Amino acid sequence: MTLSSAPETASAVQHELRGSVLVVTIDHAPVNALNAAVRRGLIDAIEAADADASVRAVLIVGAGRNFIAGADIREFGKPAVPPSLPEVCNRIERCEKPVVAAIHGAALGGGLEVALASHYRIAVAGAKLGLPEVQLGLLPGAGGTQRSARLIGAQAALSMMLSGHHIGAEEALRLGLVDRVGQSDDVFAEGLAFAHELIATKAAPRRTKNARGLADKEASVAAIAAARAETQKKSRGLLSPLKIVDCVEAALNLPFDEGLRFEREQFLECRESPQRAGLVHAFFVERETQKSPETRDAQPRALDRIGVIGGGTMGAGIAVALLDAGLAVTMIERDEASLERGSAHVEKVYDALIAKGRLTHESKTRALQRFHGDTKYDALADADLVIEAVFEDMAAKKAVFAQLDRVCKPGAVLATNTSYLDIDEIAASISRPQDVLGLHFFSPANIMKLLEVVVPARVSADVVATGFELAKKLKKVAVRAGVCDGFIGNRMLAVYRAAADHLMEDGASPYQIDRAVRDFGFPMGPYQVIDLAGGDIGWAARKRRAATRDPNARYVRIGDELCERGWFGQKTGRGFYRYEDGARTGTPDAEVESIIDAERERAGVKPRPFTDEQIVRRYLAAMINEGANIVHEGIAQRPLDVDATLMHGFGFPRYRGGPMHYADTVGLDNVLADIRAFAQEDPLFWRASPLIVDLVARGRNFASLNQTA
């Protein structure tokens, strides 16, 4: 059972006496986040318990689906309102009557800290306990680092706080984070029974600050040293992970109150950092992008049987993503041989997971029972949704859609995974344009989180809603995009890659550019990405566009030169880097540098040096400017949709919140000044987006456009 929510007018925390137990219910929809009213209410309730002689125990529970999801993330960045959460937790711990926290649903961050400050804890099935602050650029700042280490030991506490992972009730019991797991899922009844038992046995308050989890000093020192070494290696550029380790060390070495003070200082430093702002922005962005006018106004269509056309890189990856979500998949290929290759592609993805120990043979067998292959389109007669992933060629796509128009049942959603082609044109070529949608996955499709839901002019709202529903089933971040060449992500990629090419021809080496971009926080630089994906893909696109390219636009030929030599990257052993004997990490190539020199000479460019910072500024300015154009044209609904696209499809560092959020942090006027300075050299490429010009003129930023769609 979950407790039902009280009417909106009720206060955020209610308390009432049940026999001799004061039941304190946190009722602050949607997730009982600890805003100022909840914090105040908790203190009032504990004061009431201590003041009333008839109260012999206190029970804290959450209304609705969760115990408490944590501090109210929306309050960060605003002036602090007392009481603070550490004060609340300390007051709970000081309570003179035994306090029980009864946990169902989420007890995360500050929510778990409230439970840790309570004297006894019980969790029911389905509970999710965790200290995920690290994912928001924070550390537990209400005693969580000090109490968790004392309760469950340094190693387990560090593992929870550094991973941010949630654990279930049984695991929490095993670690000693809770005292018991309820027999039923009726959290209220379980909690109340526990409280009565404590009264019956005359149990005293049991304060976590006195727990002995750090008693084995040697083991604690070793756990802290190991965590520090591991964190130094892994947490590139992030502030809070090492501070978490420092706090646990303080828990070991300092008296409790001093440890709390140390934790608070570290917490406040993290809370004021741009990383926290970036990560909290990312948290909200991931939720906001799921909201579009269509998901508000229309219901999704059925989504059980899915067809996939094409079993190449994308078709196979998409099939695996669908199978992993429990859906039934029919794959169509051109002929038996291609179908065999397509099915083998799907199996290969699973086999790689098995080899890494991430999947069992049984799970693979179970997934493949829902997979069927065919060479005849009639096999799609029952499909609810079909995703086309054949060659990137308009005629090939239209031929496939003509077949779908012929065989699919009325109301089936017909989607294309095209990267660049005009989906309005594809839709117009069949008798049911209202059913045609773009579903643009990213490679590898079973791993990459981004799904661009591309909305053509004539599509029905419920078809768009179905695209968002599919993303939810696949646990992907869906971003609504309009039709244009490259939609949101690839259109931006083309522009910032061009900026990188200009930098390369002007004097920076591809290796320096990659390093500068990595140091900014991307996992890879642009030339490493080209080598990984295959230089031939971009080359083919450039050749296709050659006829329509503006003859006055700057064109850097270096990439073409490499492709003409058959250097397509990793798969051919050479690209911008050399990959000796099948190596996955490339080494710089002097011959590539000679080719670049020759191209500079041919183009009449006198090379000049760039600092890493200058490289990043140009790269980012190009990205931000095109992002602004995309918002200005309505291709993206809001700047935050651009942020989600770059973070989840293109490796933009989450802690910087995406390019548009980043632009706000450096100041749009500064970005505009950069663009205008670069335009002195190349006014055609560096044309300031009208949106940036307008926002700067009005003293506004991108965030001001991020209201709900």
Give least dist CB 500 to ligand 3HC, A: 35
Q: How many residues bind ligand 3HC (CB under 6 A)?
A: 26
Q: Which is nearer to ligand NAI, 60 or 323 (CB)?
A: 323
How far from 36 is each of 116, 364, 692, CA to CA, in Å?
20, 49, 36
Q: Which is nearer to ligand 3HC, 140 or 310 (CB)?
A: 140
Can you tell me the distance from the alpha carbon of 47 to that of 239, in angstroms, rounded to the nearest whole number? 37
72 binds ligand 3HC (CB under 6 A): yes
Q: Which is nearer to ligand NAI, 216 or 340 (CB)?
A: 340
Q: Contact, 214 vs 254, CB < 8 A? A: no
Q: Which of 116, 135, 128, 145 is nearest to 66 (CA)?
A: 128
- Name the residue type at position 684: L
Helical ranges in 217-335 per DSSP H = 217-234, 240-253, 256-271, 274-288, 293-297, 313-324
Q: Contact, 275 vs 137, CB < 8 A? A: yes
User: Which residue in 69, 277, 387, 389 binds ligand NAI (CB under 6 A)?
Assistant: 389
Report the run of H or E that residue 641 belongs to, with start and end.
Answer: helix 639-649
E-only strand ranges, 459-593: 477-482, 577-578, 587-588
By beta-carbon distance, which residue lies closest to ligand NAI?
A: 312
Neighbours of 76 (CB within 10 A): 16
For 305, half-sphere exposure in the C-beta direction (CA atoms, 13 angstrom radius) is: 11
478 binds ligand 3HC (CB under 6 A): no
Site for ligand 3HC in 262-321 (CB under 6 A): 284, 287
Region from 171-179, 383-391, 626-634, 640-648 binding ligand NAI, contact rule CB under 6 A: 383-391
User: Which residue in 26, 69, 169, 407 binds ligand 3HC (CB under 6 A)?
Assistant: 69
85 binds ligand 3HC (CB under 6 A): yes
* Phi (first) and psi of residue 569, to 5 degrees: 110, -150
113: annotated active-site residue: yes
When CB distances are held under 5 to 8 angstroms depending on the partner's kind, the choice from ligand NAI, ligand 3HC, none that residue 311 binds is ligand NAI
Q: What is the DSSP letter of 534?
A: -
Q: Contact, 279 vs 655, CB < 8 A? A: yes
Q: Which is nearer to ligand 3HC, 73 or 250 (CB)?
A: 73
390 binds ligand NAI (CB under 6 A): yes
Region from 184-192, 262-270, 411-419, 598-606 binding ligand NAI, contact rule CB under 6 A: 411-419
Give least dist CB 81 to ligand NAI, A: 47
Q: Contact, 483 vs 454, CB < 8 A? A: yes
User: Which residue in 90, 135, 292, 419 binds ligand NAI (CB under 6 A)?
Assistant: 419
Site for ligand NAI in 429-488 (CB under 6 A): 441-443
Q: In degrees, to the nearest 5, what angle opens at C-alpha 199 toward C-alphas 124 and 32?
A: 40
DSSP string, 166-228: -B-HHHHHHHTSSSEE-SSS-HHHHHHHHHHHHHHTTPPP--GGG--TT--HHHHHHHHHHHH
Give least dist CB 592 to ligand NAI, A: 23
User: Which residue in 348, 391, 406, 704 binds ligand NAI (CB under 6 A)?
Assistant: 391
343 binds ligand NAI (CB under 6 A): no
Give least dist CB 48 to ligand 3HC, A: 24
When CB distances are held under 5 to 8 angstroms depending on the partner's kind, the choice from ligand 3HC, ligand NAI, none that residue 333 binds is ligand NAI
Report the run of H or E that residue 403 belongs to, with start and end.
Answer: helix 394-407
When CB distances are held under 5 to 8 angstroms depending on the partner's kind, the choice from ligand 3HC, ligand NAI, none that residue 33 binds is ligand 3HC
Q: Is cis: bond before 433, omega within 30 of 0?
A: no
Q: Contact, 645 vs 518, CB < 8 A? A: no
User: Which residue in 334, 449, 472, 542 binds ligand NAI (CB under 6 A)?
Assistant: 334
When CB distances are held under 5 to 8 angstroms depending on the partner's kind, the choice from ligand 3HC, ligand NAI, none that residue 309 binds is ligand NAI
User: Which residue in 1, 52, 74, 170 binds ligand 3HC (CB under 6 A)?
Assistant: 74
Q: Contact, 211 vs 179, CB < 8 A? A: no
235 burial (CB, 10 Å; 0-12 / 13-18 / 19+) is middle
443 burial (CB, 10 Å; 0-12 / 13-18 / 19+) is middle
Give least dist CB 561 to ligand 3HC, A: 49
User: Which residue in 22, 45, 142, 400 binds ligand NAI (CB under 6 A)?
Assistant: 400
DSSP string, 119-185: SEEEE-TT-EEE-GGGGGT---TTTHHHHHHHHH-HHHHHHHHHH---B-HHHHHHHTSSSEE-SSS
208 binds ligand NAI (CB under 6 A): no
List the catalytic residue out of 93, 133, 249, 263: 133
User: Which residue in 90, 275, 289, 417 binds ligand NAI (CB under 6 A)?
Assistant: 417
When CB distances are held under 5 to 8 angstroms depending on the partner's kind, the choice from ligand NAI, ligand 3HC, none that residue 334 binds is ligand NAI
Q: Which is nearer to ligand 3HC, 136 or 615 (CB)?
A: 136
Q: In what order do the strands lie in the sheet with 371-374?
A: 371-374, 328-332, 305-309, 385-388, 413-416, 436-441, 450-455, 477-482
Can you tell me the distance from the alpha carbon of 694 to that of 689, in angstroms, rounded to the nearest whole number? 9
User: Which residue in 41, 64, 109, 315 binds ligand 3HC (CB under 6 A)?
Assistant: 109
Site for ligand 3HC in 125-184 (CB under 6 A): 132-133, 136, 138, 140-142, 144
Region from 80-88, 135-143, 414-422, 515-523 binding ligand NAI, contact rule CB under 6 A: 414-422
Measured N-to-C along each axis, helices 489-506 and 526-533 cross at an angle, to the nearest 10 degrees, of 120
311 binds ligand NAI (CB under 6 A): yes
Please, what is the end-to-end C-alpha distance for the chain in angstroms?
35
Can you tell me the distance from the alpha carbon of 455 to that of 483, in angstroms, rounded to the nearest whole number? 7
List the catalytic residue out of 93, 113, 190, 505: 113
Q: Contact, 103 vs 67, CB < 8 A? A: yes
Region from 88-96, 103-111, 331-339, 464-472 binding ligand NAI, contact rule CB under 6 A: 331-339
Can you tell me the distance from the alpha carbon of 171 to that of 168, in angstroms, rounded to the nearest whole number? 5
User: Which residue in 64, 98, 110, 575 binds ligand 3HC (CB under 6 A)?
Assistant: 110
When CB distances are held under 5 to 8 angstroms depending on the partner's kind, the choice from ligand NAI, ligand 3HC, none that residue 639 binds is none
The residues binding ligand NAI (CB under 6 A) are 309-315, 332-334, 338, 342, 389-392, 396, 400, 417-419, 441-443
The residues binding ligand 3HC (CB under 6 A) are 30-31, 33, 66, 69-74, 85, 106, 108-110, 113, 132-133, 136, 138, 140-142, 144, 284, 287
- What are the residue numbers of the active site? 113, 133
